Structure 1
């Protein structure tokens, strides 16, 4: 998956980690600035050193896969067994559950993915699962980053599935050096094809046999073929004679060589030669583009897919910039209803109904990080009680109090629900039981804890009422005991938990014991139970067995995928770490599916994001025999041929808080209602009860609302003056040939 582009592959150096997740990945060594881009697949220019603190761009995708309609039948039974694969830049990150024997499947699955801001597209593939043969591709929906950027509130609706064209399934980048050389008689165009990375796997072994074809003015030259590699290196140079006034384009195409069938297209880059004449030279990594010369086909009868996809880009300032805003809000919460400004009440009054849940969740996370969640909720409850005259409507409106409490219960109760319901839900999926969960029936009645209200709504529920009423009494007794814990018991519990490192993730994995040195055999893998805490990655024979430490958390240098051909599986990851002697080691772990693989990678990246010496590059293959299987380099210590992706993670309910991001989200919301806040301040200042404007030390106003407006102005100026951590995205340019 191409999450970002970097110039000159040999310049990778390990760098320091960034702030809390999602943090920026280690930056490669800086390079001199190169000429402007001349190709339709643009390269990325290197960055120059900056002294001022920089903003970090945080990109995330919220994805909800709702349902499909009118899918074609792929099985002889006249039905299909559909599931969805979500790919970001052709890299699988999510697989939904399979809906058996249905042409109108419902999934209703939600995900949030943190990724690099340079991603290009997200694609949804609808597949038909087959037990005996390879799964069939039904169709796909592809949304580009530019398309998502034009929908600030997200894309939501039905999209037609389109046929998957192999010539459009391209990925990866190619490293080229282009020069215009002035000869004694004429100019010559010199094209050096250096290497490529992350090419699409076109062969059954999970690799390709790539070569490059360079075309100019009817002339074609080709590189040698590199067998079984998605990271080939050629270092071959071709020359063409340039003619004045000829508006021909230079086309560089990557192909997969096949002995029996036709060669497979891997992607291309097209250059404007006239622009190249002006620039004289160009070097960099260029993203391979699909073949768009074919006429667009009409949409077939492949059905539709209902999706919700929302892109969020945030430019986050350094922590110190948000301290005045955070301190001002915290002071208001600590003062409670005694505060004359009541900024929290003003925020609620200026928040629209449609975004109140998002604002409530963001505020709750911000105060959780400051240890003021209880004070924040207490203040909201007092405000709610003060303006509510009817008890039956208390906490039932779309208020900031009800939405904040809902968010708090999700955070506080999620671990409890995972512990209680997790094993039951796992058993339902493992045994493929059919169950129906409907909160509008018995469970909701018990939750009301009121005998008259828990009367049966359906006739068939009547015989269960005695049990329901008994359950109400038991639930009341349970809650009473739960909230009546003595202070000593709470301290004992906290002391016991503090002695154990928090568990981040656990589960069974297969470890490859030969570390890539020996042949691939079933005996090479051993199933163990792994546990990841904030201190180490450990393993045991069973969940209850004594654990042995495999990798200390501080020693992790990278956690990345392994290409399929290395072990014959696309679900293998590698954890690169240093042992106690400082030597580099690699552990290869196999997961059962793509979801489990990405969950483990995400967890490992989050807990190690602040480690020193994180790698900027890695080898997607293994060092077997005398060379790397990915790039065929024979030096085991050779720098990696692909970039690490430490910023690509999945959002989980137990993720650590990102304080700077929450503060930025609050600032962005307040900026949107700044005009209303200023009008409110003007009215209060001009009112009959308005007194003289009080100022504190240094002339700063003591009025909280005036302070808030000043803080917003300061943050606006900070955003204007702070450079971005990463270069802005360059839009893809379509080459216009002159006729």
Structure 2
């Protein structure tokens, strides 16, 4: 069986990689082609392409030995209406976490009627992320998931709506986290590989299993160390989700002290870090699929990380249950208490709502220092003399500034008191590279020496304050001067901010999401699955609403119906909204086709390319 990977390059070309996954151990690269985007714009496109060797600068490979490939490419157009058209559907979806039971909500119903849950998960997660509603929704569907979980050791191991939502959230939000945590060590493994095969059956002639085991141990130690030290970099949203999952699991299995850890490790180790290690190209940690030997090394490391990350897994009974004897022997080299305590500390850090020392020691950890300019707090007018050069120091406990380096601090802000860290509009003081630290008193306005330094300080401050319980949701992007806020013109200094906080995570992890486009995709899914909506509606009516003849179980056994009346009510709302959106789309298409020239930007040519 073959599979293709598709990517769009910066030179406006589509690269198609062809792989053979018939080998159970390793996917085999067959070749790649590049198709210029301008070719795809033609009305008729029929051609065979010779597969090329992987682009690595080596021009000596023969290109006629790899075979050829023919593609059938389909173009689908999203017709996104103005935002006001989606108000009803958007509101119905966003209140899903408040519906009792959650299985009667619009979001859950979408996942029930879609053939593949992933089709529903992606737009739902993006929509909830955009409107800051993901955490309560994940908590609601996770609680439903836990009702059907009978044993603590199988918690969150299936592909339910809850687990898929968390998986997708981690992929979207955790890109930067993976990059800063794993990319350096993954690059080392791929660019300077050492033999790590420890399976006696797979050893090649001349291999030394003891040396290979030492190499593997070195890599596992390094990857594991980077992970358990990375809690301070974990995005706030991931921490909030893990916190909810941890407490739901402890509530479901109150007599199991380990379940609160396994609920988190089943995601962050098994479904996040371990998956990224074995498939670094999928998470943009490497440009290509690794070669066979490197891929095998990454697979062994991934297996080790999964086991090390499973709370309480390094017991004798667990070691004896390894399917592979060589893996059991390998894990005997690990010090059980040392590793389990490191995992426990890491899981505590990424699923807690309280700030913690990143290294677990009693003394504050120095994180960053440097010279910048600060504006005198409390001044109400603009003036150059208000800005003084100061030496700033950030530790895991406090943020201080001094007149000079090695002098006593003039002002100290405990980390736990910082409410937000945000950029400041240049227009406030007609100065670039400014940011503000909000801490309950007057905002502290700081000017960095350049934009890179400003981003680094914002990122560092956001990381150490991500678990503060009183984080602000809104802030003023400009200063309060001459009796009013320059951004919103409010005249009271204590007025709530007019812009939503954006610096919960590092700047390059900010997510650009078009909420209307995601709502349009959800509408399209409801439209495509209209017949299933009707079947689900009939099932609810058969159960409770109309009190009619009860249908055979097979008619609705695939649906989750906890409350037939509540589900029926939501279905009626969905169908009514979809019908109105259908009418709006028809009117819009007629108006566009009659007023816009065919082939213009407003009315582009839509065709099927084969």
TM-score bracket, normalised by the shorter chain, equals: 0.3 to 0.5
- TM-score computed with the length of structure 2 as normaliser: 0.44
Structure with a larger share of its residues in helix: 2
State TM-score, norm by structure 1.
0.37
Q: Which has the higher contact order (CA 8 A, sep 6+)?
A: 1
